[in-house]
Every structure is written in C-alpha cells, then in structure tokens.
C-alpha cells in the first residue's frame, strides 16, 4: 500500500502517519523530518535548506526530491509507505509518479486532511519539542507534567522557529498557493479521499482506517 497524507501544516497528518504506519506495517516518510535531520547533521542539503525551513518557505525541489526518491526505492519501503509532507507542489507530484512508474508502481490513495484555519493555528502555536530527546508536547492537548520540562529526560522544551505565529501565516499562504492544488491533481486520478480533522486523534484515526478498509474492498471487487 502506497499512501499520501496531504494537507496544510498542523492539520495532524504527521501524528496520524506515525500511528497508521505502525498499525499497518508501512514505512513513514516525513519530508520535514528528513530535512530537519539534514539540518541537525549540517549536511550540504541541511545547510542550504535551513533558512527556507525557518522562514516557513518550501525548500527548492532539488534539495528534497532525490532524498525522498531514495527512501521510496529502499528496502524499508518494499511493503509500502505513507508519504507525509511530500509532494508539496505539482512538479514534486510528477517526479513522484515517474519515480514509482519506473518500477511499475503507483500511489494507491491520497488522504486529504481538512480542518478549519482556527483549529490549525491552535494546534501549531501550542506545539513544543524536547531539545534533547525530541519528544513532542502540546501546551493545551498534551502538556508536560512540569511546565517547559520534558517528562522523558527532564531537558528543556522549545518551540520550532517555523511554529512562531508570524511564520505559521507564511506556511499557510505557501500551502494555499502551491500545495492545495494537488487536491485537484489527485481527485482527477480518482484516488483522493477527504478526512475531516476537526475531531480528536482517535476519531480521525478511525476515519482513515475505515477509508483503508473500503479501499481494500474496492480492490477485491475489481479482481
């Protein structure tokens, strides 16, 4: 099963990709995580990508498409994968199609995550991360026991620069201008399914799993 979780930043697709990849035995490919790891490791890609990420802009395609293509072609993705944060524009979507097409594969389903802008801003603005072990928290929905201190390793929590309120606005604008149009691209291919993300995490997960089951049934019916 090869899936894309598509949607604006902060809609919760990363959380769901994490949960569902474990449940379904799929590989979780987050282009944002791959880029942040490159920034932390100060690789050539990371050094070039850092400023774009901190300012809420998309990194140039050439910095990300090869990294994602290598992952998709690796042994860990043989059983399938969930792409989270990729593709972000039409040219990335086309590169993805041609990369998969070379080995006779394709994307089976795109789950399009939808939530109101108010919900998205509340979710992003409250996100905090541990500077040492990377554990995630949320000021309102999953706060640490002690303010600004990680429950796991007692280190300090921080807010990602691209989660600052002024940068959230830029990220949402970039989404509207470049990423949203992929909804039409995948709808025209007949593989798009909408997921209402205004509810809680468990509810959203159930909706996606129901979508996956209907997908397997459709495929069985076609055989």
When asked if residue 9 is in the footprint of ligand AMP (CB under 6 A), the reply is yes
- One-character DSSP codes across 44-70: HHHHHHHHHHHTTPPPPHHHHHHHHHH
In the complex with ligand AMP, the residue whose CB is nearer, 85 or 144, is: 85
Q: Which residue of the set 19, 71, 160, 201 is catalytic?
A: 160
Name which position in 4, 17, 29, 35 contacts ligand AMP (CB under 6 A): 35
Q: Which residue of the set 13, 50, 123, 128 is catalytic?
A: 13
When asked if residue 59 is in the footprint of ligand AMP (CB under 6 A), the reply is yes
When asked if residue 88 is in the footprint of ligand AMP (CB under 6 A), the reply is yes
Q: Are strands 2-6 and 81-84 parallel, antiparallel or unpaired?
A: parallel
When asked if residue 162 is in the footprint of ligand AMP (CB under 6 A), the reply is yes
Tokens of 210: 């129901």
In the complex with ligand AMP, the residue whose CB is nearer, 1 or 63, is: 63
Contacts with ligand AMP: how many residues (CB under 6 A)?
17
Half-sphere exposure of residue 158: CA atoms within 13 angstroms, side-chain side: 8
Tokens of 190: 């007949």
When asked if residue 85 is in the footprint of ligand AMP (CB under 6 A), the reply is yes
* Spatial separation of the C-alpha atoms in residues 55 and 50, rounded to whole Å: 9
Q: Which residue of the set 88, 109, 123, 128 is catalytic?
A: 88
Task: Kindly tell me the burial class for residue 93, based on how many C-beta atoms sit within 10 Å of its own C-beta (0-12, 13-18, 19 or more).
Answer: buried
In the complex with ligand AMP, the residue whose CB is nearer, 149 or 170, is: 170
**Contact (Cβ atoms closer than 8 angstroms) between residue 115 and residue 126:** no
Residues acting as catalytic residues: 13, 88, 127, 160, 171
Binding site residues, ligand AMP, CB under 6 A: 9, 31-32, 35, 52-53, 56-59, 64, 85-86, 88, 92, 162, 171
């Amino acid at each position: 099963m090869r899936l894309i979780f598509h949607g604006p930043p902060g809609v919760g697709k990363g959380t769901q990709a994490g949960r569902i990849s474990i449940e379904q035995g799929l590989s979780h490919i987050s282009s944002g995580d791959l880029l942040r790891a490159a920034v932390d490791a100060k690789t050539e890609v990371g050094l070039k990508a850092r400023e774009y990420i901190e300012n809420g802009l998309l990194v140039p395609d050439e910095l990300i498409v090869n990294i994602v293509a290598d992952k998709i072609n690796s042994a860990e993705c043989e059983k399938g994968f969930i792409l989270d944060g990729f593709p972000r524009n039409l040219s990335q979507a086309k590169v993805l199609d041609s990369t998969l097409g070379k080995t006779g594969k394709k994307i089976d389903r795109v789950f399009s995550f939808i939530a109101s802008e108010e919900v998205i801003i509340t979710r992003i603005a409250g996100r905090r991360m541990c500077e040492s072990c990377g554990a995630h928290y949320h000021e309102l929905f999953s706060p640490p026991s002690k303010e600004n201190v990680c429950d796991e390793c007692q280190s300090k929590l921080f807010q990602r620069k691209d989660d600052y309120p002024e940068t959230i606005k830029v990220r949402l604008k970039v989404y509207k201008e470049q990423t949203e149009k992929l909804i039409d691209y995948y709808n025209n291919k007949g593989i798009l399914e909408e997921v209402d993300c205004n509810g809680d995490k468990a509810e959203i997960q159930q909706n996606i799993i129901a979508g996956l089951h209907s997908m397997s049934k459709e495929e069985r019916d076609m055989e």
